[in-house]
Structure 1
Amino acid sequence: MKLIQNAPNIAKALILTGMLGACQNEKVAVVNPMAEQAQRHDFQNSKISAESKLIKDASRVLAYSGPRNLLTKETLESYNYYIEYAYNGQSISGTRYQISTKKQVEKNVYTLNANGLCIQSIVGNNFKVTTVYEYNENQQLIKAYNKSEPNERLEFDYSDETNGQAMLLSVTFYDKANLKIKELSYSYAGLTPDIYPVNPEYLAAGTTKYLPIFGRFSPYLVKMVTEKEFTYHPFKEYTSARLYAYTQYADGKVKSIKATDVKSGNTYSSTERQYSSAMASN
């Protein structure tokens, strides 16, 4: 939760967005080419079949339905919520409910362009933030900013490779005063292919982890993330880093992810993934 405490409003809004997964009643869903493209944009690049779907990521349970096998539900019982997603033309809405009361907690709306990429999101109920998203010629996210406070933004930097091989190198956070308050740097030692991509772990709070509507961040699995935080008056810089280790199924999909703090060697998190298609033996 450290990121929430120190991030500007746009980052807080993105974090709240990321708490949404996906859920949708198939009987009322409007499934159209735009929605399908938003779901399949990155998966096509990775040659993921319609039958091969991530159904469990740590304690999050994902479900899919409909003729195009779209993501229909995310449930996180330990946090007492589930999400419903509805697809309508060039927009996707995500509504979060408490499991215990069925009470609506929050509704977010994502507007998509002709390529199925999110170009604007409106997040929150009482606290609403409109975020605008910009992409480069490779359809990779390069900027996300608060529409009412444009200085409050995130900027994304990539390597120079072409043909879908460009890798996310860093993400920089700025506040309303245009001060840099955080920077995340990524490394990809070994260049292990990411067969089933989701939005990056550190960015998932900002881009919804399981809907590929923000472009492809990298074709490879992240090996290390270095985080720098900046404070002012007086100026101070704080640095931390995490290493990521993976196990994989026989087909190359990630089976487990272990994140370790570089300085202490302590395990920060350990995640298991399961997929709907038949996995080969361990």
Structure 2
Amino acid sequence: MKNIFKFALVLSIGIASCQQDDNFVTPADKAEATASSLRENMLPTVPQKHQLIKHGNVKLAYYPDGKLQKVTYVAATRTSPATFATYKYNANYIIATVYYNNKVAQETTYLLDNYLRCYESIQKDYIPMGPNAYQVKESNFHYNYNSKGQLDSRINKKVPTQKTVFIWNAAGDLVKMTGYNFRSGQAYEPVQSETTLYYDQPTGDPILADLAPINSEAANLPDPYLMVFGKSSRHLVKMVTENTSLGGNYYAYALDAEGYVTKRDWYTVTDAKLIESTLYEYLISDLGFNL
């Protein structure tokens, strides 16, 4: 009897409370309202992920986890198959296989350190020597990195007297590459090439951040899109010169509203002649929030 009385008393108090405040909100309702407000306030500024899917005529595809899966360099036509590269990942290495005319043309194994940087690449090129014969040409390079995780040097393991040294500035940009060769028992001498990269120009163009970097073309790394060679330059290169040729090349960029490159024009320094225009396309997705 006492329990029934207590239940009736609690029920009457609850009804009275509801009558006194028709706008009563439960903690769950309040939490949902707060989350809804946050969503509305955040939608205009939700950060987005840009994934490069087209670079000129080159198309890039990715695995669901974001790793590079396939790069198509030449699309298939009615008369010829595509030229493309595929990528397979393991804990300590990556295998990239290039197919040309429906046959394996090149296979490169990238050995990775604990920071997932390539410390050695082993490349095999399969050179056709007839209808059913080919010659295998192998190249092997070792890579060293500085304390900041930037590529410091690359050494030809088959010809150890040959190496390339990479110089970086305080802003985190690659500014010089020097090719060396060991001759006549002397110290390394710059006999191959010296390439200098500039990130601003005398015209006063601003230095631009590189928000979706790929491997530097000037560095001549084994793969332009596989990002396993340490940190990339933080800014877009504006001009490149080489000691083995006159003049050089400079670049102009078009950016979208968020600062990502949508077009790059490549000109010669000597006569400002347009050599090539390259368009960039991205797969854009929101970085998720669970509110």
TM-score of the alignment, normalized to the shorter chain, above 0.5: yes
Correspondent of 1:153 among 153, 156, 163: 163
Cα 1:225–1:209 change in 2 (3 A) is: same
| Partner secondary structure for residue 221 of structure 2 | helix
Correspondent of 1:220 among 229, 235, 253: 235
Match of 1:70 in 2: 67
| Partner secondary structure for residue 149 of structure 1 | coil
Correspondent of 2:153 among 140, 143, 159: 143
Matched, 1:97 2:94: no
Match of 2:218 in 1: 202
Match of 1:58 in 2: 56
- The one-letter amino acid paired with 2:256 is Y
Matched, 1:115 2:118: no
Question: Which is bigger in relative contact order (C-alpha 8 A, separation at least 6)?
Answer: 1
RMSD after superposition:
2.0
CA distance in 1, matches of 2:119, 2:285: 35
| Partner secondary structure for residue 248 of structure 2 | strand
CA distance in 2, matches of 1:94, 1:211: 9
CA distance in 1, matches of 2:51, 2:278: 17
CA distance in 2, matches of 1:115, 1:54: 23
Match of 1:22 in 2: none
Gaps of 5+ in 2: 1-46, 77-81, 126-135, 201-205, 287-291
Match of 1:172 in 2: 178
- The one-letter amino acid paired with 1:76 is Y
Kept in 1: contact 2:50–2:212 (CA 8 A): no
| Partner secondary structure for residue 207 of structure 2 | coil
Deviation at 1:97, TM superposition (A): 0.8
Number of equivalences:
215
Q: Percent identity?
A: 28
| Within-5 A mapping of 1:242-257 | 242-257=249-264
Deviation at 1:88, TM superposition (A): 1.1
Matched, 1:133 2:136: no
CA distance in 2, matches of 1:52, 1:264: 35
Deviation at 1:278, TM superposition (A): 6.5
Deviation at 1:78, TM superposition (A): 5.6
**Cα shift readout 1:242-268 (whole Å, capped 9, x = no counterpart):** 111000111111000111101021112
Deviation at 1:176, TM superposition (A): 5.4
Q: Larger C-alpha radius of gyration, 1 or 2?
A: 2
